[in-house]
Amino acid sequence: MKKLLLLFLIVGIVFSDSACHSQGGPRGKSEAEIKRMIFVYGNGTDKAFIKYVATLTGKEKPKICFFPTAAADDPRVIAYWDKLIEGMAINSCVIRTFISSSPEQKSFEEEILTADAIIVGGGNTLNMIAVWHAQGIDTLLRMAYEKGVVMAGGSAGSLCWFTGGYSDSRPRELSIIDCLGFLPYSHCPHYDNPDRRSLYLEAIESGIIEPGYACEDDAALLFIDGHLSESFSLNPGRHSYFVTVEEGRVTETLLPAKALK
């Protein structure tokens, strides 16, 4: 009798564990069905980019969380976000990190892990990542990404997802900073800026940073499961590139882009 009860108990545990795994990820998707997407663009947030991020979620009215951390939660940046999303079919959530505790607040975990997409604004990348680390937000973002929550952003909000690159986060001059590393490449936003472009090319050629992707302003890239999927542009004069070293020389490969309106 004891052996029979033990057998039922083991079967019950296995069944329960299988059920939990079958419900993994957002919207009940299995691990095999989850696509881990990151959409980056070279400059600040734009209405067309937000609309495209919303379509990536597959939801009719997705919950999109906006992070203005890099701008120190500047009210003007938040007001601009609110203006951009007017009339859009999204549930907007602005996650402020420069706060004082109050009982009515939701935790960062509650907001991030229930989102359909995360969009990160521009500003000081180095300070933003330091704040995220202090608050445990970097860990939560990784958890959300692995669950299939769409990650996106421009400028600081694009650089943060890569291993690192040049940033204007420190005094005097552009310097290399380490980032979250969700994507195993270096990155350069604002690639139409001559100083950024030349520094990025030199750093890759000398091996200071690994090969990576560069976006001019108004150009964008979509990565799925860590690999480049598509390139986009808001106008024909703006481009994205893959930058690497071939036979000892740095090379730029122009990435054909689809128009995004």
Q: Which amino acids are annotated catalytic?
A: 155, 190
50 and 84 Cβ atoms separated by less than 8 Å: yes
Say which residues have a Cβ less than 8 Å from residue 23's Cβ, sequence separation at least 6: none
41 and 158 Cβ atoms separated by less than 8 Å: yes
Neighbours of 244 (CB within 10 A): 17
Q: Which two tokens stand for residue 112?
A: 């991030």
Q: Are strands 227-233 and 258-259 parallel, antiparallel or unpaired?
A: parallel
